[in-house]
Amino acid sequence: MLATILMSLPLPQEPDHSGRANHLVHETSPYLLQHAYNPVDWYPWGDEAIELAKKEDRPIFLSIGYSACHWCHVMERESFEDEEIAEFLNANYICIKVDREERPDLDDLYMTAVQRMTGSGGWPMSVFLTPELKPFFGGTYFPPREKFGRPGFLDILLNIRNAWRSRRDEIETSANQLGEMLALKLPPAPSRGLPDSEKFATREQAWLTAFTNNFDPKWGGFGPAPKFPHTDDIRFLLGIADRYQLKEASDIALYTLRKMADGGMYDQLAGGFARYSTDEKWLIPHFEKMLYDQGTLIPCYLEAWVQSGDEFFARVARESCDYLLREMQSPEGGFWSSTDADSEGEEGKYFVWTPDELEAVLGKEDGAWAAEVFGVTQQGNFEHGSSALTLRGDAHNQDRKRFAKVRAKLLETRAKRVPPATDDKVLTAWNGLAIDALAQAGRVFGETRYVDAASSAADFLLNAMRTDGKWLRAWRGGKAQHSAVLEDHAYLCRAMLSLFQATGEERWLDQASDLAAHMIDSFWNPKTGVFFDTDGRDKTVLHRRSSPWDGAIPSPNAVALESLVVLHAFTHEDRWKEISDRGYSAALALMSKGPRGFAGTLRSLWMAVAEPRVAVIIGGGKDAELDAWRLAFHCPGGSTALQVFRTRANPDSEYELLQGRNARDETATLYLCQGTSCLPPNVAPQSLTKILE
């Protein structure tokens, strides 16, 4: 009703006003700096802007986006660089810009509001707030002026200004009601504990139906276009496929992963994935490449390779890891956040090809072959007759040398194009995902360069992202800022555990323990059994919320619980198990209507119900022997053991897990335990399948 009122008001003429450099000029976020010289008088989120809105009794226009966002760039060009629109904004609103990647708490809160008001969401997010920070109107991208029957941004600004003056009571009532809804109150933590392992196994296998019902059997993936990776769903399916030998679960996951990597969402030349597919066939991506997508997809392809033995999945995982090391790691060691969808003002221009362009680079014969292999036609599958590269048929497998030669030439030529911009800020959470992925890849492949890159990034975070015992979220140009939120702590904690698994170095287990303790102290809510998203210190945030559900990135609550249950398996410290058991019990109660949205929690819940095996492999000086053990775990049930690889024994370790663990007769030796019960030392990798049965 409020939206109807706002859109029906008259549009008065407004005086001219000249724009100038604004309050974003001292920020470090590339996204905010992109707007620092808009004629709009932008403020960063903070007390100055909020107090000014209260003092002048003006509504706040809050714009939230990120640097790699195509439609954010479009709205900037069309509206925020428009002098008439800027003058009206400056005269009637306090304008605040937020980088959603720096402030995920604000993004989550106000995106929920937009979704409540409109039924959908996206970026750029455009929200109108009272000076008390309560939202009353919002949307995403707006054209500058009326187009195709859709109201223009200037129309909206005029109508909201008039409604603020003449219908203030209605706005306040609507804002108060929506503000209360955003509190997101969760039920009290249940008193019952976790189910026994037998009941849980039956229940877990029954949950498969919820995922198969949403599966697209023709093109893979889940649901209609636009299609996102749903990595938590995929990893849950791979996990139960291995634990219970469920072929249906494995088939769904592997088919989806293959379709994604064959499509345009995967960079067929350089490796790495774009954010999502705009169509059901995985042909045309939204071309921005986000660090978090690499961090969540690489483990999927690693698990797929381990489970299937298909080298296709290993190739995709390796190429994506190589992409991170080659294009996304900063000289300081941390990983940058994203690369843009646009270059030279056009979406996807850097990535797409025409048949003529292929022929110009490769010659007539190889150009025609490449066009067939990559699905490049005269009509094109994208704009202006160009095509996003996809893999078609099996020709590339039949002549792999030719395929590698063609890809190398095309990549060399593409590198001479004007590249998309890189958002070179370092985020703790997303680096945690990248470190986790690279450490896993290093452990599974036996590739020290991946482990070294992960270690370098972890060391950078430890040195640059802490002050006075508190973790910070974002770093750029030597400056770290913004309090770390739950996802920063949870993802980094899991990353430290993965580094411990890849190296056996106790320092990573020490850091994981420290992070877990801080995470519990700052974020745990004993009343609900769910971690808070924030530590509650920033009083400008309307509500302190908890978000236990999966999203575009893994549920921080789920990753926090996984970290605690793995820590308990490694250390046998009851403090970790007490919290994780309560957290998993609360999650089970929340998923009473079904498991969708909780795949991230389900992935690790089995470890809380039935204590996982822990496999410590101590090397005897020969890499080939360690590699034999790595491959041995590619057997049914291999994923049910948490693997820790150490090249040499450490007789002085303070952790019981590593005490007395030596390479027998200088041969790589397995120590397999479950709880406090251990099997005799084993030097025969070929025996592992029988042991795990």
Which tens digit of pLDDT belongs to each residue from 425-455?
999 999 999 999 999 999 999 999 999 999 9
Lowest mean pLDDT across 402-411, 573-582, 591-600, 616-625:
591-600
Indicate the pLDDT class of residue 219, thresholds 50, 70 and 90. very high
pLDDT of residue 230: 96
* DSSP strands (E only) in 605-678: 613-618, 641-646, 669-674, 677-678
pLDDT in tens, 60-69: 999 999 999 9
pLDDT of residue 159: 97
pLDDT of residue 10: 34
Distance, in Å, from the CA atom of 318 to the CA atom of 573, rounded to the nearest integer, reads 35
pLDDT in tens, 2-27: 444 333 333 333 333 345 899 999 99
Indicate the pLDDT class of residue 398, thresholds 50, 70 and 90. confident
What is the arithmetic mean of pLDDT over 216-240? 96
Q: Is pLDDT above 50 for 72?
A: yes
pLDDT of residue 98: 99
Q: With contact defined as beta carbons under 8 Å apart, do 164 and 171 qualify?
A: yes
pLDDT of residue 20: 83
pLDDT of residue 2: 42
pLDDT in tens, 272-329: 999 999 999 999 999 999 999 999 999 999 999 999 999 999 999 999 999 999 999 9
pLDDT of residue 8: 36
pLDDT in tens, 525-568: 999 999 999 999 999 999 999 999 999 999 999 999 999 999 99
pTM assigned to the model = 0.95
* Residue 304: C-alpha distances to residues 242, 299, 404, 641 (Å): 10, 8, 23, 16
| Backbone dihedral angles phi then psi of residue 523, each to the nearest 5 degrees | -130, -15
What is the arithmetic mean of pLDDT over 242-271? 97
Q: Residue 128: which residues within 8 A CB-CB, separation 6 or more?
A: 59, 60, 61, 62, 93, 135, 136, 137, 138, 160
The Cβ of residue 496 has, within 10 Å, a number of other Cβ atoms equal to 29
Lowest mean pLDDT across 14-18, 156-160, 191-195, 392-396:
14-18
Q: Is pLDDT above 60 for 615?
A: yes
Q: Is pLDDT above 80 for 584?
A: yes
Q: Is pLDDT above 70 for 461?
A: yes
Indicate the pLDDT class of residue 184, thresholds 50, 70 and 90. confident
| Backbone dihedral angles phi then psi of residue 285, each to the nearest 5 degrees | -90, 170
Sign of the alpha-carbon dihedral angle for 47, 53, 55, 56: positive
pLDDT in tens, 490-536: 999 999 999 999 999 999 999 999 999 999 999 999 999 999 999 99
Q: Is pLDDT above 90 for 397?
A: no
Q: If 0-12 CB within 10 Å is exposed, 13-18 middle and 19+ buried, where does residue 119 land?
A: exposed
pLDDT of residue 192: 87
pLDDT of residue 673: 96
pLDDT of residue 11: 32
Distance, in Å, from the CA atom of 207 to the CA atom of 602, rounded to the nearest integer, reads 10
pLDDT of residue 351: 98
Q: Is pLDDT above 50 for 382?
A: yes
pLDDT of residue 395: 77
Q: Over the chain, what is the mean pLDDT?
A: 94
Give the relative orientation of helices 506-523 and 486-503 as an angle to the nearest 10 degrees: 160
Q: With contact defined as beta carbons under 8 Å apart, do 334 and 364 qualify?
A: no
